[in-house]
């Protein structure tokens, strides 16, 4: 009997692109995650189950070993401060950028700290600290694009994909913080205990992604 393997997948955009990758390596949920209200889904492999959770929670489930392996956006990994993870494969899916943006043509005020609205608090703090720029970070949970329009913030830090949301709200990208894509992440203890099964799964997934296979390295914090 093979070891049980639990895979954590993020709801939403990444899930749509990740499911076909898992299907290609022979792992398919018995029910559609978009239609089922279940949080734990059985798959065609009796020893493999899927957890369907909020994107920002995937690194935590994998860090604590509640899931052996998972898929997480680099944006969520950059915000995660836990460690305990390997990040063996850039899946090359759900690509976008994390950017600093402002109102189109706006001249930023001098002589006071700029206000930056974002849900990516850790990423924004680290970025501006590295530039030696003191800013005031305002934590939001969504619709960051609104903040500069109503005077809540001078800048936002948010994901940009097509740029359509910025354009529709008369905003423009000012600085690139990082290129983002979805990554395979693995619990360190699981990697030891279930080494053969997980290595096989990782290798199969890596071989079907166009992404460059990187050496297993610890998530940097």
In this structure, are strands 69-73 and 96-103 parallel, antiparallel, or unpaired?
A: unpaired
Considering only residues 175 through 204, tell me which ones interact with ligand PRP, judged by CB under 6 A: none
Smallest separation, CB 208 to ligand PRP (Å) = 25
Smallest separation, CB 116 to ligand PRP (Å) = 15
Residues 6+ apart with CB under 8 A from 42: 29, 30, 31, 49
Residue closer to ligand PRP by CB (options 56, 203) is 56
Q: Considering the rule CB under 6 A, would residue 163 count as an interface residue with ligand PRP?
A: yes
Considering only residues 125 through 154, tell me which ones interact with ligand PRP, judged by CB under 6 A: 142-143
- Candidates 8, 160, 198, 206; binder of ligand PRP (CB under 6 A) is 160
Residue closer to ligand PRP by CB (options 107, 168) is 168
HSE, CB side, 13 Å, CA atoms: give it for residue 221. 10
- Candidates 136, 161, 200, 214; binder of ligand PRP (CB under 6 A) is 161
Residue count, binding to ligand PRP (CB under 6 A): 10
- Candidates 32, 111, 164, 212; binder of ligand PRP (CB under 6 A) is 164
The C-alpha atoms of residue 30 and residue 33 are separated, in whole angstroms, by 9
The C-alpha atoms of residue 99 and residue 102 are separated, in whole angstroms, by 10
Taking each helix axis as running N to C, give the angle between helix 195-208 and helix 13-24, from 0 to 180 degrees, rounded to the nearest 10.
110
Edge-first strand order for the sheet with 48-53 is: 40-42, 48-53, 5-10, 69-73, 182-187, 85-90
Rounded to 5°, the CA angle 91-122-69 comes to 35
- Candidates 158, 177, 187, 197; binder of ligand PRP (CB under 6 A) is 158
Smallest separation, CB 56 to ligand PRP (Å) = 10
Question: Where along the sequence are the contacts to ligand PRP (CB under 6 A)?
Answer: 142-143, 158-165
């Amino acid at each position: 009997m093979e070891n049980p393997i639990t895979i954590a997948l993020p709801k939403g955009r990444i899930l749509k692109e990740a499911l076909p990758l898992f299907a290609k390596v022979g792992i398919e949920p018995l029910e559609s995650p978009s239609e089922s209200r279940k949080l734990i889904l059985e798959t065609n492999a009796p020893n493999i189950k899927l957890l369907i959770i909020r994107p920002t929670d995937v690194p935590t489930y994998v860090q604590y070993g509640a899931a052996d392996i998972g898929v997480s956006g680099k944006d969520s990994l950059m915000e995660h401060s836990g460690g305990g993870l390997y990040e063996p494969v850039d899946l090359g899916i759900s690509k976008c950028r994390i950017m600093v943006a402002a109102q189109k043509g706006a001249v930023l005020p001098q002589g006071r700290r700029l206000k930056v609205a974002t849900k990516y608090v850790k990423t924004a703090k680290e970025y501006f600290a590295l530039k030696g720029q003191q800013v005031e970070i305002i934590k939001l949970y969504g619709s960051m694009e609104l903040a500069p329009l109503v005077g809540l913030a001078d800048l936002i830090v948010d994901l940009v994909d097509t740029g359509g949301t910025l354009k529709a709200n008369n905003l423009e990208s000012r600085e690139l913080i990082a290129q983002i894509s979805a990554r395979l992440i693995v619990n360190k203890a699981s990697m030891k205990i279930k080494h053969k099964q997980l290595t096989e799964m990782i290798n199969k997934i890596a071989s079907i992604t166009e992404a460059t296979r990187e050496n297993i390295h610890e998530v940097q914090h």
